[in-house]
Amino acid sequence: MAKASTLFTYALRLGDDSLIIGQRLSEWCGHAPTIEVDLSLANVALDQIGQATHFLALAGAIEGKGRDADALAFKRDVLDFTNCLLVEQPNGDFAQTIARQFLFSHYQALLFGELAQSKDERFAAIAAKAAKEVAYHANLASDWVVRLGDGTDESRTRMDQGLQWMWRFVDELFVMDEVDAAAQKAGVGVDKAALRAAWDQRIDGVLNDATLARPASRRPALGGRKGHHSEHLGHVLSEMQFLQRAYPGAVW
Amino acid sequence: MYTTDLSGKQQADKIAEDPALVAAFEARVANDDFIEPKDWMPEAYRKTLVRQISQHAHSEIVGMLPEGNWITRAPNLRRKAILLAKVQDEGGHGLYLYCAAETLGTSRQQMIEALHSGKAKYSTIFNYPTLTWADIGAIGWLVDGAAIMNQVPLQRTSYGPYARAMVRICKEESFHQRQGYEIMMALCAGTKDQKRMAQDALDRWWWPSLMMFGPPDDNSPNTAQSIRWRIKRETNDELRQKFVDVTVPQAEAIGLKVPDPALSWNDARGHYDFGDIDWDEFYAVVRGEGLVAKERMTARIQAWEDGAWVREAAQAHAMKREAAKLAAE
């Protein structure tokens, strides 16, 4: 049996990843290159907000201190957020957003595929539903990587720059720290390090179709899982949490 | 979301049309038949529809901005998901409406260019700012409520593709209206600050919502012809009255006061009497003088221009794939 505090953190990390990328994607709403793209980004955002709601509610239930998904989303400060650094990166141009989604959705697709087999039915149920959603996100993002990579000179340059921006955050996705190891040992969590080879294969396949080069390996940027974030997350939170902070105790 | 016809009196059509075709068309319309894209139609009918449907589509798309302004600041996860889904629905409405207008021979590109150049109009309501979370409630309740009043009759409008688009749109708008009212209910059941927010939103959105139905009937140049052609089924003033009659009791039920000292129930008419609308304000907003009109158009144009390289890339990629497929055959 894993300790409750381990499973709490495990659920929180999953919820925070989905919440922050959902929040980022929702910034696009009304501003995308075409109406069709606008609708598809909103779809992805909605799925991610839904996943966040489930994982954070589960974290709150495991913790047992009366915090629900909203309390966890809106009343924690940056040091207590455990999302990976990738999801908090700014949208940038459309290529940068797609680069982030591409790298992250393939990770989520592999992760949820495994997590759906978790011994803990609560995690397994959320992951099984989410696995279908993120498979679509991964396809959507891959299609755009190919279109932009093998489109015009400008789109190719931008797609390459988007990948360059995001690439330093890839390694963090697959790090197994003591929480991950304990959750995996208990049969609840996933061996994320073991997903890397399959992820590399998926990414390389799409980059090949897109006629893009894989960015060079570099020193990984880490820290998100322990609350040490980039400068961006504080701003994301200050916007997201504004009403709950300005009107403490109000019910909406 | 809906827009009423904001253009001036239309020029009489100068093209000579076969009187037999015109008579047959008028008879079909009078018989409540649907006109379909390949059917013959008078040029003025086509133009009126393109104007009205594209204006409606633009309103949906521009209307994403005032509400989109609050998605990242929604107060909890449920409200965030609902608002995101709602704004996404508005984008979907814009899409079907552009498609319906395209069946009349105008491209989406042309319509969008007309919006950006200022030639095409969109609903004046979106040129008012969303200041607080209560504005999201007020927009759903009042603006989408007014939209429903306008759109329900359009499900029987004479042009088939427009009528069919409207059936789906009305279903979604009805959900939007309810979620807006539910936001207001929560605020009115909340703290003093929340009630203040709710009342303030009603104060600011009430009159602009009444203006959404368009000019009064005695000053609505195109109404008579549009009603004869079954493009419109009820007049602006009839719809406005219906809206007031339905909405006032809803405000009272949650303890909000409609900001109109002249508002009173008239037993003899069986309707509410209400005060004069400031039509100077309405026409100023139609002219582009709404508080955030510049912000709205700047945001639309910027999204379009910033996205140009994406659209070009998608096209270039499709052409490359097509060429490769042909070469392989």
Question: Between B81, B312, B317, which is nearest A46 by CB?
Answer: B81
Looking at residue B5, what is its pLDDT? 59
- Please enumerate in sequence order all residues whose Cβ is within 8 A of that of B253, keeping only pairs 6 or more positions apart, or say none: none
How much is the pLDDT for B219? 85
Predicted pLDDT of residue B156: 92
The DSSP element (H or E) to which B46 belongs, if any, is: helix B43-62
Q: Which two tokens stand for residue A64?
A: 């047992």
Enter the tokens of residue B152.
């329900």
Of A38, A53, A242, the CB nearest to B73: A242
Instruction: Look at the block and give the residue holding tokens 């799925």.
Output: A47
Q: How far is B15 from chain A (nearest CA, A)?
A: 35
B169 and B94 in contact (C-beta within 8 Å)?
Answer: no
Contacts of B195 (CB under 8 A, 6+ apart): B187, B188, B255
User: DSSP character for B12?
Assistant: P
Give A-chain residues touching B198 at CB under 8 angstroms.
Answer: none
**CATH code, residues A4-215+227-246:** 1.20.1260.10
Q: What is the predicted ipTM?
A: 0.97
Interface probe with B: pick from A24, A147, A209, most Cβ of B within 10 Å: A147
Look-up of token digits 């899409």: B95
Q: Tell me what the mean pLDDT of segment B184-212 comes to.
A: 98
> Which chain A residues touch B137 with a CB distance below 8 Å?
none
On the question of pLDDT at B7 being above 80, the answer is no
Q: Which residues of chain A have pLDDT under 50?
A: none
Percent of chain B with pLDDT over 70: 95
As given in the structure block, the two tokens for residue A62 are 């495991």
Write down the pLDDT at residue B224. 83
Q: Do the beta carbons of residue B212 and residue B143 sit within 8 Å? A: yes
Residue from the list A32, A53, A239 with its beta carbon closest to the beta carbon of B303: A32
Q: Give tens-digit pLDDT for B98-129.
A: 999 999 999 999 999 999 999 999 999 999 99
The predicted structure's pLDDT at residue B4 = 59
For residue B296, the distance in angstroms to the closest alpha carbon of chain A comes to 11
The residue extents of the domains of chain A are: 4-215+227-246
Instruction: Read off the DSSP letter of residue B270.
Output: T
What is the reported pLDDT for B20? 95
Q: Is the pLDDT of residue B147 over 90?
A: yes
pLDDT in the model for residue B8 = 55
Name every chain A residue with its beta carbon within 8 A of the beta carbon of B319. Answer: none
**Amino acid of residue B282:** F
CB B312 to CB A148 under 8 A? no
* A-chain residue closest to B189, CA distance: A251
pLDDT of residue B240: 97
Place B6 in a pLDDT band, splitting at 50, 70 and 90: low
Q: Which residues contact B133 (CB under 8 A, 6 or more apart)?
A: A243, A252, B70, B73, B74, B75, B183, B187, B197
pLDDT digits 0-9 by tens, A167-192: 999 999 999 999 999 999 999 999 99
Give me the count of residues in chain B. Answer: 329
Distance CA(B142)–CA(A61), nearest Å, equals 38
**pLDDT (tens digit, 9 = 90+) per residue, B51-90?**
999 999 999 999 999 999 999 999 999 999 999 999 999 9
Rounded Cα distance between A238 and A245, Å, is 9
What is the nearest CA distance from B217 to chain A, expressed in angstroms? 34
- Is the pLDDT confidence value at B233 over 90? no
Q: What are phi and psi of B137, to 5 degrees?
A: -65, -45
Neighbours of A178 (CB within 10 A): 9
Compute CA distances B246 → A33, A61, A209, B131, B213, whole Å.
39, 43, 57, 26, 15
Which tokens in the block code for residue B319? Answer: 């052409």
* Out of B98, B190, B313, closest to residue A251 by CB: B190
Chain A residues whose CB is inside 8 A of the B313 CB are 147-148, 151-152, 154-155
Q: How far is it, in rounded angstroms, from Cα A10 to Cα B183?
A: 33
pLDDT given for residue B9 in this prediction: 55
Q: Which long-range contacts (CB under 8 A, 24 or more apart) does B88-92 make?
A: B88/A29, B88/A38, B88/A39, B88/A42, B88/A43, B88/A46, B89/B172, B89/B176, B90/B1, B90/B60, B90/B61, B90/B63, B90/B64, B91/A30, B91/A35, B91/A38, B91/A39, B91/A42, B91/B60, B91/B61, B91/B64, B92/A39, B92/B172
Question: Mean pLDDT, to the nearest integer, of B135-140?
Answer: 98
| For B299, nearest residue in chain A (alpha carbons) | A31
- Chain A residues whose beta carbon lies within 8 Å of the beta carbon of residue B194: 247, 250
pLDDT of residue B228: 87
- Percent of chain B whose pLDDT exceeds 90: 89
Q: Do B190 and A250 touch (CB under 8 A)?
A: yes
How do residues B67-77 score in pLDDT, each as one tens digit? 999 999 999 99
CB contact under 8 A, B88 and A43: yes
Q: Which residue of B has its CA nearest to A24?
A: B72
Confidence tier at B232 by pLDDT (50, 70, 90): confident
Token couple for A28: 């696009």
The answer to whether residue B179 scores a pLDDT higher than 90 is yes
Average model confidence (pLDDT) for chain A? 98
Interchain CB distance below 8 Å, A26 and B84: yes
| Confidence class for position B329, pLDDT limits 50, 70, 90 | confident
Report CA torsion sign: A143, A146, A150, A152. Answer: positive
Burial class (CB in 10 A: 0-12, 13-18, 19+), A66: exposed
